[in-house]
């Protein structure tokens, strides 16, 4: 048996109270990591997660920030350093939600929100936390992309533009910080089943196009995050990994 062991590591998950984030937090905790549970507005959900983690023997604190704002992210760093310490693992999971419309109908503010929550979030997290990782000679950056970045379906333009911009930043970052022992990777979930997004007959059309003929589960997404955060993935960097049952397949 080859375990995923994150004992002694501190992990920050942004958007930790979301559908995928809460399972990522729990999974990293089960692997032995202590958790910085980020939230923007949902303090109650963040504190509930902290209590759950602490009951399981992990150290955990809730940290608030607007991840699109530089001063707010700096404040999160100060809170982290004063509590658990700066993270060894950063999982960039937060994203602004909005109503999807066609390019001709999509408000410009939605393109800006996706740029800020996809591109700028990752830039700010890197500037704020990666220098400490390189000084230690070990670090993990895992960012959550989406299968949509390859599909480019109708009404996805703001979301896709943000995730594709993020991809460029992270691939360059992987080249720049690799010599410091830091890996940078992305996962690309499909349309995932989670606590508040259950399977239903209305999603049959989607399942029928997935090679595995089903939707992924939130735990399956979190498992890949935990793998990339661990020493088992020590020689994986610059990757964009679909976790969508084969629904998209990057070329070589």
251, part of any domain: no
Q: List the 34-39 sheet strands across, edge first.
A: 60-64, 34-39, 10-13, 89-92, 139-144, 182-189, 240-243
212, part of any domain: yes
Domain count, the chain: 1
248, part of any domain: no
57, part of any domain: yes
Predicted pLDDT of residue 88: 98
Does the predicted model carry a pTM greater than 0.85?
yes
Strand 182-189 and strand 60-64: pairing? unpaired
Phi-psi region of 229 (alpha: psi -120 to 50; beta: other; left: phi over 0): alpha
Q: Per residue in 161-194, pLDDT tens?
A: 999 999 999 999 999 999 999 999 999 999 999 9
Q: Which domain holds residue 81?
A: 10-243
CA 201 remoteness from chain centre:
28
CATH number at 199 reads 3.40.50.720
Predicted pLDDT of residue 148: 97
249, part of any domain: no
Predicted pLDDT of residue 190: 96
Count CB-CB contacts under 10 A for residue 240. Answer: 17
Task: List, for the chain, all residue ranges whose pLDDT scores fall below the cut of 70.
Answer: none
2, part of any domain: no
Which tokens belong to 178?
Answer: 């690799």
CA dist., res. 167 & res. 173, Å (int): 10
């Amino acid at each position: 048996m080859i375990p995923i062991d994150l004992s002694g590591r501190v992990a920050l998950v942004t958007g930790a109270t979301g559908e995928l984030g809460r399972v990522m937090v729990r999974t990293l905790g089960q692997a032995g990591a202590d958790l910085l549970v980020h939230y923007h507005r949902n303090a109650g959900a963040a504190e509930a997660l902290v209590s759950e983690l602490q009951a399981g023997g992990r150290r955990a604190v809730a940290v608030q920030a607007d991840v699109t704002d530089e001063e707010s992210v700096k404040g999160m760093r100060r809170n982290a350093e004063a509590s658990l310490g700066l993270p060894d693992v950063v999982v960039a999971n937060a994203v602004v939600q909005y109503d999807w419309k066609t390019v001709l109908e999509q408000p410009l503010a939605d393109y800006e929100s996706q740029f800020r929550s996809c591109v700028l979030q990752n830039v700010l997290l890197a500037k704020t936390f990666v220098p400490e990782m390189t000084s230690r000679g070990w670090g993990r950056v895992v960012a959550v992309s989406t299968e949509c970045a390859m599909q480019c379906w109708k009404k996805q333009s703001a979301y896709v533009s943000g995730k594709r911009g993020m991809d460029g930043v992270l691939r360059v970052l992987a080249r720049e910080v690799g010599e410091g022992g830091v890996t940078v990777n992305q996962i690309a979930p499909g349309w995932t089943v989670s606590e508040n997004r259950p399977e239903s007959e209305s999603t049959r059309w989607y399942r029928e196009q997935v090679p595995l003929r089903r939707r992924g589960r939130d735990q399956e997404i979190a498992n890949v995050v935990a793998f990339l955060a661990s020493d088992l993935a020590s020689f994986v960097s610059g990757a964009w990994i679909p976790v969508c049952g084969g629904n998209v397949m990057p070329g070589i």
